[in-house]
Amino acid sequence: MMESVDKRWYVGYTWWITISAIAILAVRLIGLFVPAVGDNLHAWGIDITTVVLALITLLYRFTLYKKHTETLGLNFATLLLSMIQLTNAINMINITGWDNSWYILVLYTMFFFSGIVGIYPIIGGILLLSLYILISIPDINKTDGLTLQTVGTLAVGYLMCVISYFMWRNRYIDQESQKVSHLTGLLKSNQQQSEILIKSIADGVIVINTEGTISLMNPAAAKMVEWGIDEASEVAANKVVHLTKEDGKDITDEENPLSVVLKQQQQIDKTVQLIGRKDKKTIVSLVISPILLPKTNEFVGAVAVLRDVSEARKAEQQRADFISTASHEMRTPVAAIEGYLALALNEKVSKIDSAARSYLDKAHMSTQHLGQLFQDLLTSAKAEDGRLTSNPSVVELGTFVEQLTNDLRLVAEKKGLAMDFLTEAGNTVNATNGHVLQPLYYVYADADRLREVIINLFDNAVKYTEKGRISVGLTGDAKVAQCFIRDTGPGIPPEDLPHLFQKFYRVDNSATRTIGGTGLGLFICRKIVELYNGRIWVESQLGKGSSFYINLPRLTNEKAEQLQAAAANTVTAKPVNSDVAP
Ligand code: ADP
């Protein structure tokens, strides 16, 4: 059984060994020039064996020691140090007399601390001590040399070593085997308490080790996966916990959270479908976190918590259905009211006095807002349950965004805002005619949906910016095409940034609160961008402005041509399948 030491102890002890060896050499050096008092103490009591050992120790400390594992290095260095101290102490005892030398106390003290790093230096120390005594004490070889006192001294010395080991081991020494199966150890210590706790948790709890096999499972988890607790123990987690995507599609090994957590050692939070052994299907919210040891941060496994959200999902679905039906039904009368109000406000059709006009104007604006709210509600309900219609095709973002910017320019300029179209990175100038060559940024998405996103971001930029400019731009690299909309508006407080793309989230500050809105626009944008495996985010500085970015996977020119050719061939045969991504 190997032993390992506490890291802090290792560092401290390393220094102690180094300093001791240097001190021995220094004392010997001083002894060369300053003779000690008394005839017996040659070179201050440090003999040549001790010096050689100190040199070897220092040499080892600065070479192999660094390459060895902490445990091995420390054991070996301690052994060397013990030898230095032993030879030195015994040399001194030899000089001063074996029977009643003060140096025996030094020897005992040394033995008492020898157990700090473990049992090996002690065993080594005892063996060496015995050997050294046999060789170096001339008295022992004579029949009358081995006095009772000498034997007693040695016996106490050995006893000291053993006491030392038991005294220090629990303080600084970990058993290596304990570390290896630390996870099991952790679970088994306070076993009763852990069992009561884990059994009573209503969520499924599964602990897996670094090998990916199940170390522990609670009854709730066993019920979900339809396995017995004991039979699942030590079986590969992937085999017991059969996961698919929420919509029932397969999860590849690279995507499977149970494998990913072992590779990345980071928490994963996902909603997935769990299929039991007898085919029971449960939608679960799965949070799987790595287990790291407290001091060393060593990764020893992962714990998965599975919460059945099937009922919650059903309720959510019903709510979404209700919202979408209600908003769909209500849109028609609202459109009728809006139409009649428009007629009432039309001077050619009806005559009204100025007071009535101002009231009707307000009513008209509110009706428009209501219509927009219903529209947004309908779109967001559809986005949430994946019913958003989408007919993706190959879109060249350069032309698309530039065109759109030109269409929108008027809206910005009407509010007195300047408007730019920027193409930042990737521009190359053609050497022969000096024209700027803009690379082609092909993406696979529904152009109408993309337009909706960009217009939404642009509308926000115009809505919230009082003066300055709005820049729409396009950039990217080999893998992504990036579109951004930048404004010089009030900016967004940092604490709101993480929530901005959530449903109904609106920033509650004086700069934007007074401006009407539904809080659904950015949520819909996110849902649409995610539909095409893209990402949307915002960077903003209060008082300076905001930049909204959209990243979409970029198609290579060849892939784009292939897809365009395929679409041209099938367009007469059947409509483009909206579910199929490239
Ligand atoms: P709405 O604009 O209808 O309120 P959105 O989802 O489009 O809803 O935006 C959410 C919130 O984000 C807005 O209420 C606003 O506070 C903030 N916001 C969005 N765009 C900008 C922007 N360009 N500048 C400052 N704040 C913004």
| Per-residue pLDDT tens over the stretch 135-190 | 655 555 444 445 666 667 667 777 777 777 676 665 555 444 444 455 666 666 66
pLDDT at 434: 52
Query: What does 127-152 look like in DSSP terms, one character per residue?
Result: HHHHHHHHHH-HHHHSTTTS-HHHHH
What DSSP assignment string belongs to 7-69?
Answer: HHHHHHHHHHHHHHHHHHHHHHHHHHHSPPSSSS-GGGG--HHHHHHHHHHHHHHHTHHHHS-
* Tens digit of each residue's pLDDT (9 = 90 or more) over 553-582: 999 999 999 999 988 887 655 444 444 444
* pLDDT over threshold 80, residue 441: yes
* More confident: 528 or 75: 528
Residue from 95, 94, 89, 77 nearest 157 by CA: 89
Ligand 1 centroid to Cα of residue 507, in Å, is: 7
Contact 305, 202 (CB under 8 A): no
pLDDT at 143: 44
Q: Are strands 268-275 and 242-244 parallel, antiparallel or unpaired?
A: antiparallel
- Residue-level pLDDT at 513: 64
Closest C-alpha to 460, from 406, 510, 518, 502: 518
Ligand 1 centroid, distance to 371 Cα (angstroms): 18
Q: What is the mean pLDDT of residues 32-58?
A: 70
Query: DSSP secondary-structure letter at 499?
Result: G
Q: Is 169 in the pocket of ligand 1 (CB under 6 A)?
A: no
- Among 374, 459, 492, 501, the mutation site with the greatest number of ligand 1 atoms within 8 A of its Cβ is 492
* Confidence band of 127 (pLDDT split at 50, 70, 90): confident
Share of the chain above pLDDT 90, in %: 38
Query: CB–CB of 326/38 below 8 Å?
Result: no
pLDDT at 204 over 80: yes
Predicted pLDDT at 248? 85
Cβ of residue 506 lying under 6 Å from some atom of ligand 1: yes
Reference 519, options 538, 533, 546, 500; nearest CA is: 500
Q: Is 461 in the pocket of ligand 1 (CB under 6 A)?
A: yes
Ligand 1 nearest atom to the CA of residue 520, by list position:
6
| Residue 87: predicted pLDDT | 73
DSSP-derived pairing of the beta strands 418-423 and 469-476: parallel
Both tokens assigned to 33:
């020039």
352 pLDDT higher than 60: yes
Kindly report the protein residue whose alpha carbon is nearest to atom 22 of ligand 1: 461
Question: What is the per-residue pLDDT across 394-428, written as a single tens digit (0 to 9) for each?
Answer: 999 999 999 999 999 999 999 999 999 988 654 54
In this prediction, residue 266 carries a pLDDT of 87
Query: By alpha-carbon position, which residue is closest to atom 18 of ligand 1?
Result: 460
Other beta carbons within 10 angstroms of residue 407's beta carbon come to 12
Q: How far apart are the first and last CA of the chain?
A: 56
pLDDT at residue 510 greater than cutoff 90: no
Buried b (16+ CB within 10 A) or exposed e, 113-131: bbbbbbbbbbebbbebbee
Q: 506 C-alpha vs ligand 1 centroid, how far in Å? A: 6
Quick check: helix, strand or coil at residue 118? coil
Give the pLDDT of residue 26.
Answer: 83
- What is the average pLDDT score of the chain? 81
Q: Which two tokens stand for residue 526?
A: 């996110």
- pLDDT computed for residue 463 by the predictor: 92
Please work out whether the CB of residue 153 comes within 6 Å of at least one atom of ligand 1: no
3-state secondary structure of 101: coil
Mutate to test the pocket of ligand 1, among 484, 522, 544 (most ligand atoms within 8 A of CB): 522
Q: What is the pTM of this model?
A: 0.53
> Where is pLDDT greater, at 454 or 573?
454
Cα of 524 vs centre of ligand 1, distance in Å, is 12
Minimum mean pLDDT among 117-131, 219-233, 272-286, 464-478: which range?
A: 117-131
Is residue 551 lining ligand 1, measured as CB closer than 6 Å?
no
Instruction: Report which ligand 1 atom has the smallest distance to the Cα of 376.
Output: 3
Mean pLDDT score, 200-207: 92
Contact (CB, 8 A) for 553 and 532: yes
Q: What is the pLDDT of residues 265-286, one digit of tens each?
A: 889 888 899 999 999 999 999 9
Burial bucket for residue 3 (CB in 10 Å: 0-12, 13-18, 19+): buried
Q: Measure 396 CA to ligand 1 centroid, in angstroms.
A: 28
Q: How much is the pLDDT for 19?
A: 83
Supply the residue whose CA is at minimum distance from atom 9 of ligand 1.
519
Residue range 244-254: mean pLDDT, rounded: 86
Neighbouring-strand partners of residue 306 = 204, 286
